[in-house]
């Protein structure tokens, strides 16, 4: 019975023309991707975190391989704004116990001689002990999660571009 239900579900999904968004993104980006990140002189540690998050997203979401720039289909030039912290939660004594960390990623996508610019934002809310300073570990985690949100936004935009391009090519046929 389970096999029959699973088979019916697969037929329904495949019959309606469902295509995963990663396929659209892969069509836009290609199979081989390279990345470079502009190192911030003020905060070089964050640069490494962002680079790792971008590379991880490329492998997981685009199902592409990382290559050197001369071997790649697409190259991503990434730069990060200085992260900003805003207090969002206060305790009864007025001490800050919650922050919102915001950052912006600027990504230039070079593919087939065409360059496209993306400006993406990511935020992350986190708590601290009352009257405490934000530790390096909390700061790194906040930057990592904020960057991951910005990268997911990039993936969504690239997937939408791929779906739009496919729709346009199908309508021409």
Q: Name the class of domain 21-172.
A: alpha beta
pLDDT in tens, 80-117: 877 888 999 998 988 889 999 998 989 999 988 889 99
* CB atoms near residue 111 (< 10 Å): 16
Token reading at 138: 């909390």
pLDDT in tens, 49-78: 777 777 877 777 777 788 888 898 899 998
pLDDT at 123: 94
Angle, CA 112 vertex, CA 64 and CA 35 arms, to 5°: 45
Structure-token match 């659209």, residue found: 24
């Amino acid at each position: 019975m389970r096999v029959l239900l699973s088979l019916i579900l697969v037929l329904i999904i495949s019959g309606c023309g469902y295509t995963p968004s990663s396929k659209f993104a892969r069509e836009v980006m290609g199979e081989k991707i390279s990345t470079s990140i502009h190192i911030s002189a003020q905060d070089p540690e964050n640069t490494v975190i962002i680079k790792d998050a971008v590379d991880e997203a490329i492998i997981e979401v685009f199902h592409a391989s990382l290559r050197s720039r001369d071997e790649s289909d697409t190259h991503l030039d990434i730069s990060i704004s200085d992260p900003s912290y805003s207090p969002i939660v206060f305790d009864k004594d007025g001490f800050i116990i919650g922050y919102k960390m915001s950052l912006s990623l600027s990504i230039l996508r070079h593919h087939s001689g065409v360059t496209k610019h993306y400006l993406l934002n990511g935020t992350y809310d986190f708590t601290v002990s009352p009257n405490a300073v934000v530790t390096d570990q909390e700061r790194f985690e906040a930057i990592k999660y904020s960057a991951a949100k910005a990268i997911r936004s990039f993936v969504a935009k690239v997937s939408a571009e791929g779906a739009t391009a496919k729709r346009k090519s199908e309508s021409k046929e």
